[in-house]
Amino acid sequence: MNSYYPQHAAAFGEILRRVAGQRVAVIGHARPDGDCIGSQVALARALASRGVDVVCINGDPVPRRLQYLVTGMNFLRTDAEIASHLDRVAIYVDCADQARVGERLKAKFPKVLACIDHHLSNVGFAEYNLLDAGSAATCEMLAGLLLDAGLAIDPAAAKALYAGVMTDTGQFRFQSTSQRCFVLAGELVARGASPAEAGHELYERESPGRLRLLQRFLTSMRFECDGRVCVGFLPLGVFAETGTTGEDTEGLVDYARSIDGIEVGVLIEDKPDGGVKASLRGRDPAWRLDRIAAQFNGGGHACAAGLNHPEGVAKFYPRLIAALGRQLDEGRARPA
């Protein structure tokens, strides 16, 4: 049998030993995406199959496109729902730092037994940190870890893991996509994941509001850094105007990145508190967008990063463009 993550086998085994007979909460990040929800579903189902009392907790609702993954699962969100679960052992998934779950959940679950994550910027905040920046998705890691440990992956867990790998690889297109991604995807299909179902649920269920939001984003685009950076904006009030929510921003930044000649695509969203949320997507890992985001207290991957910043767009925007310009110029100056 292939061993996908031998470097984490001992730690994962110890985590399984520590949670035996415990009440566990599998906690995901704010504004959950496919990799987050997929990781939560799969890990929770694997633990439940071993007799562990487990629930999933998120600060934000499960997005509409991902609802098909959580049928029959116990996902909790509000203070009232989680009030009787604060004694649970916390395992974080797909979180580069503890604040990624939101300040409310961070305060309620300050002690973290384990974190399973693939972000390059992860700070190692748990007792056990299973980190692999070479993995395209946390779901890729979990698929390998579960198989290495000989744990059963039922059809519901298989399709959840497949969705996470599919979304975080951009439908198996991003540079992070490796041979291991395809091998594990095949293992998941063998266990019940359906590529057709995932493709339909994740990419073929556009709402009219989402298309209106996309239209607003496209018409707002600016080109910076000698045409190598494309930035689109979502102003305050745009969700109400288009009949959308924050979850409908997923994937918009990829339209900016996909333009021929663009090295970095950016989405900047105004927040009600006066700050901004920004998503960065790049073609080349040499640009190290995680380092750009870190300058504004964010993080992520070399080609995909994000941040929340208290400054408004008027102050934030020129600082971001200057940072991107420096990074691109340094890359251009490197010898081939």
pLDDT, one tens digit per residue, over 79-112 is 999 999 999 999 999 999 999 999 999 999 999 9
Asked whether residue 330 carries a pLDDT value surpassing 90, the answer given is no
- Tell me the sheet residues that pair with 128: 114
Kindly state the average pLDDT of the residues 185-195.
98
pLDDT digits (tens, 9 = 90+) for 218-243: 999 999 999 999 999 999 999 999 99
Distances (CA, A) of 234 to 32, 224, 231, 240, 254: 19, 17, 10, 12, 14
- Tally of helices (H runs) and strands (E runs) in the chain: 13, 12
Structure tokens at 26: 């599998």
Q: What is the predicted pLDDT for the residue at 116?
A: 98
Q: What is the predicted pLDDT for the residue at 37?
A: 98
264 close to 278: Cβ distance less than 8 angstroms: no
More confident: 335 or 263: 263
13-17, 132-136, 297-301, range with the lowest pLDDT: 297-301
User: Alpha-carbon distance 5 to 276, whole Å?
Assistant: 37
26 close to 57: Cβ distance less than 8 angstroms: yes
Q: What is the predicted pLDDT for the residue at 329?
A: 87
pLDDT digits (tens, 9 = 90+) for 27-70: 999 999 999 999 999 999 999 999 999 999 999 999 999 999 99
pTM: 0.89
pLDDT band at 215 (very low <50, low <70, confident <90, very high): very high
Kindly state the average pLDDT of the residues 299-327.
94
Quote the mean pLDDT of the chain: 95
Looking at residue 297, the DSSP 8-state letter turns out to be: T
Q: What is the predicted pLDDT for the residue at 2?
A: 74
Asked whether residue 335 carries a pLDDT value surpassing 50, the answer given is no
pLDDT band at 264 (very low <50, low <70, confident <90, very high): very high
Q: What is the predicted pLDDT for the residue at 74?
A: 87
Asked whether residue 179 carries a pLDDT value surpassing 80, the answer given is yes
Q: What is the DSSP string of 41-104?
A: HHHHHHHHHTT-EEEEE-SSPPPGGGGGG-TT--EE-SHHHHGGGTTSEEEEES-SSGGGG-HH
Q: What is the predicted pLDDT for the residue at 336?
A: 38
